[in-house]
Amino acid sequence: MLSAERRFALTGTPVENRLSELWSLMSFVNPGMLGTAQAFDERYEKTIALRPDGAIAAELRDVVRPFVLRRTKSAVLTELPPKTEIVRPCVFGGRQKRLYDALALATRQAISKRDRARQGARTQLSVLTAILRLRQMACDPRLVDETARPEDSAKRAAFLDLVRELVSENRRALVFSQFVELLALWRVDLDEAKVAYEYLDGSTRNREAVVDRFQTGTAPLFLVSLKAGGAGLNLTAADTVIHCDPWWNPAAEDQATDRAHRIGQTKPVTVVRLVAEGSIEDKIGLLKEQKRTVAAAVLDGGEGSATETLGPEDLAVLFGDATEVDVSDEDGPVS
């Protein structure tokens, strides 16, 4: 309904949740070019989700290419130092594996019952809650089970080992987590080890002062909640970024990483992702790559991002291996 001689759309993530977002953008810029939403869904979205390397993806790419100008950071900021990305696997110990497997089994059974009952939105909320609990258990069982012990967390041990390495090498790191509670638990360990740090989450009032202290100070660590630190911060004093827990939208992680890897950075940046092996975190990584592939298929090799909205196919990836597990525990009962 807007009257305009020329129309432009500007976005950093042309495909963030689904391909239909690209349809929405193009329908504003060039109304009717991609047909109706229903026709686009039938011809392109459903087909490309199954075959991102097929002829239909190439067709859509050719249609939109003349109307899309992409300027990625790597092409524009050529003076930036290199960025190295490392995945550090964290292997569960016996107790954490039993706790995780017991929770995973109970989760799959509960979701299956709710699916059969067809409870709609209530089921979707239950699924998201279940995924949250599994992710928390993979990070530190104390986030889910009050009887768990600090030493039950393989990721906590890996994090503290990494911190010791960084401190011994006089390096400085940003530490991101989506769970403020996780940062609170690990701050206790840092205090005991007498490792200095700055801290920022959504409740922090003096953001600028905290950032200035890190930028001009000597604290080796800056602990930041992913939501609070995803944008608007310049933290180039850090040469390392640690992601404590993965998210299936890589755009959120990339934005956090870019707090250090940005204009003004003079040192190479190392990005370390702590991933719990054999957990839902492995599958989040798989889901993320699938979504990247779909986005790249229609944007000529550009970076896509994973979905925030989980459909049936995504849930199949996350909960596809419903195997029986041993929930016995010689150290005590499993909650």
Query: What mean pLDDT comes out for the span 130-137?
Result: 92
Spatial neighbors of 205 by CB under 8 A, at least 6 apart, are none
The mean-pLDDT minimum among 94-98, 217-221, 255-259 falls in 255-259
Question: Residue 182 domain-assigned?
Answer: yes
Q: Which residue has the tokens 């990247």?
A: 292
For residue 231, pLDDT over 90 is answered with no
What CATH number is associated with residue 235?
A: 3.40.50.300
| Closest C-alpha to 325, from 135, 76, 105 | 105
In the DSSP assignment, the letter for residue 152 is G
* Span 123-132, average pLDDT: 78
Task: Please give the mean pLDDT across all residues of the chain.
Answer: 84
Q: Report yes or no on 209 lying in a domain.
A: yes
pLDDT of res. 169 = 97
Give the tens place of pLDDT for each residue, 44-72. 999 998 888 889 999 999 999 889 888 87
Q: What is the mean pLDDT of residues 266-293?
A: 88
The reply to whether 39 falls in a domain is no
Predicted local confidence at residue 265, as pLDDT: 94
For residue 38, pLDDT over 70 is answered with yes
Q: Please check whether residue 219 lies inside any domain of the structure.
A: yes
Range 82-98 average pLDDT:
96
Distance of alpha carbon 241 from alpha carbon 172, whole angstroms:
9
Residue 135 belongs to some domain of the structure: yes
Domain count along the chain = 1
pLDDT at 310: 57
Do the domain assignments include residue 156? yes
Q: Would residue 186 count as lying in a domain?
A: yes
pLDDT 10s digits, 294-310: 777 777 643 333 334 55
User: Stretch 265-281: mean pLDDT, rounded?
Assistant: 95
Question: Whole domain around residue 210: which residue ranges?
Answer: 83-278
pLDDT at 301: 44
Q: In this structure, is residue 328 part of a structural domain?
A: no
Is the pLDDT at 209 greater than 90, yes or no?
A: yes
Which tens digits make up the pLDDT trace of 320-335? Answer: 544 333 333 434 333 3
Q: What are the phi and psi torsion angles at 78 (to 5°)?
A: -70, -15
